[in-house]
Amino acid sequence: MFRKLEEVERKFERLGQELQEPGVANDQRRYRGLMQEYANLEKVVLSFREYKKLTKDIKGNKELLDNENDEELRRLVKSDLAALEKEGERLEQELKILLLPKDPNDEKNIVLEIRAGAGGDEASLFAEQLFRAYTLYASLRGWKVAAASISPGNVGGYKEVIATISGDKVYSLMKYESGVHRVQRVPKTEAQGRIHTSTVTVAVIPEADEIDIKINPVDLRVDTMRASGAGGQSVNRTESAIRITHIPSGIMVACQEEKSQLSNRHRAMQILYAKLLAREEEKARKDASDARLAQIGTGDRSERIRTYNYPQSRITDHRIGFTTHQLSDIMDGRFELIIEPVVTHFQAEELKRQTTQ
């Protein structure tokens, strides 16, 4: 591991030198690529340098213990040494996780799809609330959320909402949100006060670039229409909504949330690229026997991953057996309270898999 870390540190230093070379900033594509690679290595290198300093301090304390006769000083050194060794173990574990093979999609923006499932109107209401919670979480992280299409429910809420979320490492944190989210609560319309169970499905799809997926323009059917819903007069008077159908796959994408047809078309194409890439990765997952390839993609959205129990203010992630009673905080945007334990669990599982190979 340490040989690999030294190689990473040398590469980091080389990249730093390249970024300072005259004329590098003039080639924006190369400059952005170098900056991205430099930023990706920075956390690993800083942690490694901290670990090396800590190791040096531990060695110094041990040498002091070997040569010191003063019992009071020895007691202080032992206490300091125990704290240093504990921190060293934590840093070593962190470095092992940082060296895990990276998901190539981790740096990407995402397409988020939330659909009401079982439970009728209550499912639509929860779909809207879940989207609001993700939007608040995105805002706290400095991400940008842009709705592409919204289908309202019969009594409010959303039957379906599709949005793009862009920012720093969005997919790396959101990728484990794919699946069935179950809510248990008393509906406002329930006179008897009985707990009602409903579900929504969430799909998190990494955004695709044109270089990832090639689309032949002749394979597209583009329809324009008037936007529906509360889009504002300027939206409803003009045919600004776009529906694009990819004929070979049958995938259809609609976008109506922007005021201009051009903006809606651009966002619809972004979503289409992402869906086609997800389709290819789904095929790879089915065809591949390799365990690593089996983890590619969006996850099984038919799996019930989480329950939101309102009467007990409890949220449980069934995949990792984690429960917290901070439901109201999470629904107000503090999604890191449930996302971070999930990410940590799957990193630990991957680390365990790597060490047993």
Query: Are the C-beta atoms of residues 201 and 180 closer than 8 Å to each other?
Result: yes
CA distances from 354 to 40, 251, 292, 299, 357 (A): 21, 37, 10, 20, 5
pLDDT of 319 reads 92
| pLDDT by 10s per residue, the chain, length 357 | 778 788 888 888 888 888 888 888 888 878 888 888 888 788 888 888 888 898 998 988 898 888 878 888 888 888 888 889 888 888 887 787 777 777 788 888 999 999 999 888 899 999 999 999 999 999 999 999 988 888 888 888 999 999 999 998 899 999 999 999 999 998 876 766 788 999 999 999 888 766 667 888 888 898 887 766 544 444 445 577 888 889 888 888 888 877 788 888 888 888 888 888 888 777 766 654 443 333 333 334 456 899 999 999 999 999 999 999 999 999 999 999 999 999 988 888 877 776 665
Nearest to 159 by CA among 204, 226, 114, 189: 114
Where do the domains of the chain lie, and which CATH numbers do they carry? 2-98 (1.20.58), 108-357 (3.30.70.1660)
CB 133 within 8 A of CB 145: no
What is the model's pLDDT at position 299? 36
What is the token pair recorded at 69? 């006769």
> What's the CA gap between 160 and 346, in Å, rounded?
29
Helix axes 71-98, 28-67, angle to 10 degrees: 150
Q: What's the pLDDT score for residue 64?
A: 84
With a CB cutoff of 8 Å and minimum separation 6, the contacts of 229 are 150, 152, 256
Using a CB cutoff of 8 Å and minimum separation of 24, what contacts does 236-243 make?
240/264, 242/268, 243/268
The predicted pLDDT at position 201 comes to: 93
State the pLDDT at residue 183: 94
Give the integer Cα–Cα distance in Å for 171 and 343.
11
pLDDT for res 15: 87
User: In terms of Cα–Cα distance, which of 148, 130, 163 is closest to 265?
Assistant: 148
